[in-house]
Structure 1
Amino acid sequence: MTPGRGVTNPGGRIVWRSNFNAHGCQPALASIGLIPEAEEGKRYVSSREHGMHALRHFYASVLLDSGESVKAVSEYMGHADPAMTLRVYAHLMPNSRERSRRAVDRVLGPSYVEDHGP
């Protein structure tokens, strides 16, 4: 992968989504039985659950789950702005409540004792 250029082939040229799906991903998925084999002379049945779309979704979800910033993920995905990334991938972002609690606990340290009263 070339930074800022997306996925590239050994010659440094961009791998187009349609070629990746038709010649790489879909044949591999068919060979392990996740999608049906293409009929002779015909294309594989397309689906958003398989191919480049699924790979992009997986990539974004791994980054967001690992705590990468939405701004960085937006840049990596080639989105025009982070708002686009939020609209598409916000459902993948982990619940921030526990992360917020851990951040406060780290700052306050082990000496912090919660007083629940008498």
Structure 2
Amino acid sequence: MYVLRHTYASVLRDAGESIKALSLYLGHAGPGFTPRTYTRLLPASEDRTRRAIDRAFGFTADPVDA
């Protein structure tokens, strides 16, 4: 059950859900507990971050792929 709960929290956090909302969904006493407990990121978050920065600077493809 712990793995399912942790996966739920990680997926929502990776999707951009706020810590405050996630804390409420998980039934935590306050939002300070949530990031200390659910700090792992899914592998996709690195790619998502890189793509966001690339878009911000107008890049359409990875320099390695170009």
Q: Could you tell me the TM-score, scaled by structure 2's length?
A: 0.62
Aligned residues: 55
Q: CA deviation at 1:71?
A: 1.0
Gap regions ≥5 residues in structure 2? 59-66
Per the alignment, residue 85 of structure 1 pairs with 34
Q: Aligned residues: percent identity?
A: 47
1:67 aligns with 2:16: yes
Query: Structure 1's 102 and 80: CA in aligned 2 closer, same or farther, altered over 3 A?
Result: farther
> Which one scores higher on RCO, CA 8 angstroms, separation ≥ 6?
2
Runs of 4+ in structure 1 off by over 4 angstroms are none
Per the alignment, residue 57 of structure 1 pairs with 6
Q: Could you tell me the TM-score, scaled by structure 1's length?
A: 0.37
Instruction: Tell me how far apart the structure 1 counterparts of residues 51 and 16 of structure 2 sit (CA, whole Å).
Output: 10
Q: CA deviation at 1:101?
A: 2.5
Per-residue CA deviations over 1:35-70 (Å, capped at 9, x if unaligned) read xxxxxxxxxxxxxxxxx1111011101101111111
Q: Which has the larger radius of gyration?
A: 1
Instruction: Tell me how far apart the structure 2 counterparts of residues 89 and 74 of structure 1 sit (CA, whole Å).
Output: 10
Structure showing the higher helix proportion among its residues: 2
Instruction: Tell me how far apart the structure 2 counterparts of residues 102 and 61 of structure 1 sit (CA, whole Å).
Output: 24
Gap regions ≥5 residues in structure 1? 1-51, 111-118
